A and B are shown apart, each in its own frame.
Chain A
Amino acid sequence: MPIGIPINPGRIDWSGENPGIMLKERADGPWSALALFFRIAWSPEGRGSALMLYERPDAPAGPPAANNLVITDNEPMARYLMRNFVGKFGVFGEAPAFRAMPYVPLTHAATHGDPRGHRYVETVSCAGVTVELVWEDLGPPTAIEIPPPLSGTGEHTMFSLLVEARRAAIIVNGRPLPGAPVPREQAGLKTTTAFLYFAESWIRAPFVT
């Protein structure tokens, strides 16, 4: 909860939404499919949307061998996010797919559903590929404030609004990718690997150079 310093002295690196889905076919197995969606309101590279999809996280290849790609309407912004954030998010940055992803222009994006209801969907398309991210069985919203030691980069305080999903799917051109969300823990909160993150801001802690 707020700690009584109305203005945070840190530098804003970006602010927006960052929901994701991480799927496994069995709890102790490898990741079978991963997706992160960004709707950025402010970044040093402007605003925009970007979907990062690993259809095959273990494959160091992009289309047509595997739909490992970034679909975006602002490539400089997407590259900034991948370089400075996703690349530092353990699972995402370490996957062989990360270095193989091409950046392709976004042709359509739409949001459906209600994050306080049963179902929420982000749909993103590029030439030849339509990706639907579907979150279902949604939990209550929780405001979180993750300090640098616990944040994905280790360098930022991260504010966000988490809505967990107990069921989720990544659907590519009408075909659901294999796997299901699994349990995970974030800053002591038991949650899942399918999450809506709204009102998310990454703030570089002033003591980190």
Chain B
Amino acid sequence: MAERVPINPGRVEWSGDNPGIYLKHAADGPFVTLSLFFRVVLSPHGRGTAMLILGAPEDARGWPHAPNAFITDNQQLGRYLIDAFVVNMPTFRGKAGLTAATFLPLTAASTLGDPRSRYTERVQSHDLVAEMTWDELGVPFAVEVNADQSATGTHEMYSVFVEAKAASVTLAGARFGGQVVNRQLFGRTISTAFLAFSETWVKPGR
């Protein structure tokens, strides 16, 4: 095993929580719902909270014409997260709905439940309510990936994952279709609904 270096020489890009839910109708079909939540405690653009919901990932329209929305209390941070990170993630790469998602101001946010069993992140943009709920949560485990293993392909990433066997996403009271499926990630079979706490993205220093 390689030796651990206590002080990472890389440049910290951002840090916070970054859970997600990706749903399919069939295990061998396309994703029909993609959603990510961000609670960022440190970034080049300050702190902030954001929820990305693509209820129609292949539709090049945003809310209210299609259920594709990005609700955030820090628009500059949101743009940075989308342009520098999310567009590079394999699950989101090339999705027309991501480019078209309407940026909306976050007016309220709350965390409900317990990360050991059932957990919900809820955000509001005025009267519009969006919720992500993770259910049947498992045992947490730590991941630490090199640049060639990470979702962007250029960052090292640390996180604590908690896998959910069931999950749901709602926008304006409507629950999106699809269900959690399994995928191969980090050499393990992991569901497509996960809590991700204490996540830090680092640009390698050498």
Q: Which residues of A contact B (CB under 8 A)?
A: 1-8, 10, 12, 15-17, 41-42, 44, 46-47, 111, 114-117, 140-147, 150, 157, 159, 161, 163, 187-189, 198-201, 203
Contacts and interface: CB of A to CB of B under 8 A. Distances in A.
A189 B114 CA distance: 36
Given A159-B158, A161-B200, A1 B8 contact: yes
**Secondary structure type dominating chain B contacts:** strand
B160 A145 contact: no
A5 B143 CA distance: 8
A114 B2 CA distance: 35
B3 A41 contact: no
Given A16-B197, A16-B198, A198-B41, A2 B156 contact: yes
Given A111-B47, A159-B144, A199-B200, 19 more contacts: A2-B146, A2-B157, A3-B2, A7-B143, A15-B140, A16-B197, A17-B41, A41-B17, A140-B12, A141-B12, A141-B15, A141-B42, A142-B8, A145-B5, A145-B6, A159-B142, A163-B42, A198-B42, A201-B142
A5 B162 contact: no
B18 to A, nearest CB: 10
9 contacts: A1-B202, A5-B1, A8-B143, A8-B144, A143-B200, A161-B15, A187-B7, A198-B41, A199-B198
Nearest to B141: A7
A41 B140 CA distance: 11
A54 B7 CA distance: 30
B183 interface: no
Contacts of A6: 143-145, 149, 186-187
B115 interface: yes
Contacts of A163: 42
A145 B198 contact: no
A109 B199 CA distance: 23
A162 to B, nearest CB: 9
A2 B145 contact: yes
Interface in B93-144: 111, 114-116, 139-144
B177 interface: no
Contacts of A188: 6-7
A142 B6 CA distance: 10
B15 to A, nearest CB: 5
A115 B45 CA distance: 10
A111 B39 CA distance: 13
B204 A1 contact: yes
Given A8-B144, A41-B198, A199-B198, A1 B5 contact: yes
Contacts of B10: 1, 143
A49 to B, nearest CB: 12
Interface in B13-71: 15-17, 41-44, 46-47
